[in-house]
Structure 1
């Protein structure tokens, strides 16, 4: 099977659960990104977006986000991932990536530093954040592994081997123990 086929199956599990049990969360999902949007993001960031994120974005371009990144993101219908994190649309992938690169640069972390000692690496592509962007998840464009970052701590590489694996674990958790309140998933 192809990455795109695998992603459609895995992401479909998440979307079907949301549609049935958490319709307010399901309504927060955006339409697919366009190839041009993804290509423009790659040009801006100067790296290739990993195939798994590309495949997912062509199915669903993250969630609807208030233009003010700090405005009411917490506990909004778009925050249905564990820890109430949000899936990033293409334009916010770029914004978060640029923010993280600036933080790394300001901290004096060159791109060739050991990944486990970095604040951020140029080959990490973010795909989910919490409300104020201090914590989030990324895919390492070189390895395909999912990692996490947090404010003031080193990156965590013990999350999932792939984005499909991450989404599969989210779907499993929803099915196993997902509860809803007012049409929203509550962890």
Structure 2
């Protein structure tokens, strides 16, 4: 479980930094996902969660604690709070229910447009820019057991972005703690704090 251990360690470092320097951002973190949360997500996906993702969600079930919902035709839409956007591209760390909602919606879109390569069942969204079709997903369908991170955007099919969730979070932790590092998500960005929330320049 080396990747899961790395995720746990890196996320602990990130949360500690947020609590000390950006308390408004730290307050956007949900409590740990419960057994029921994990089971419901696994049931929706149709397979067991990658250990690295389950480890992360069991530390904090997303950064959506301050978010709200608004009624839209056919249901509700999540309205992210500014404090939820804790990652360098303004992405939100999705909670279990948000993962279910986005995964199901993207599979329906792929079916509607008749392009199964637009979104695969094994792709699990974990970070998302909620105002646009952009974010990062875990590819749980690799035959070799690896779980690489893919980046997707409105105009492109998902492409490989990082080797693992451990690599992704490790780069963010290094940048927050030391102001340096060459993480794929932090490249060219530096953190600052405004009104108690982390902002990436």
User: 1:105 — aligned with what?
Assistant: 111
Report the RMSD for the aligned CA atoms in angstroms.
Answer: 1.6
Q: How far did residue 139 of structure 1 move?
A: 0.4
Q: How far did residue 70 of structure 1 move?
A: 5.0
Distance 2:32 2:197 in 1: 22
Distance 1:49 1:151 in 2: 26
- Helix, strand or coil for the counterpart of 2:5? helix
Moved over 3 A (4+): 1-4
Q: How do 1:82-97 and structure 2 match up within 5 A?
A: 82-97=88-103
User: 2:19 — aligned with what?
Assistant: 19
- Helix, strand or coil for the counterpart of 1:122? coil
User: 1:170 — aligned with what?
Assistant: 172
Q: How far did residue 8 of structure 1 move?
A: 1.8
TM-score normalized with structure 2 length? 0.82
User: 2:6 — aligned with what?
Assistant: 6
Q: How far did residue 2 of structure 1 move?
A: 4.0
> Which structure has greater strand proportion?
2
Q: Unpaired runs of 5+ in structure 2? A: 71-76, 180-189
Are 1:29 and 1:62, in contact at CA under 8 Å, matched by a contact in 2? yes
Higher relative contact order (CA 8 A, sep 6+): 1
Q: Unpaired runs of 5+ in structure 1? A: 111-117
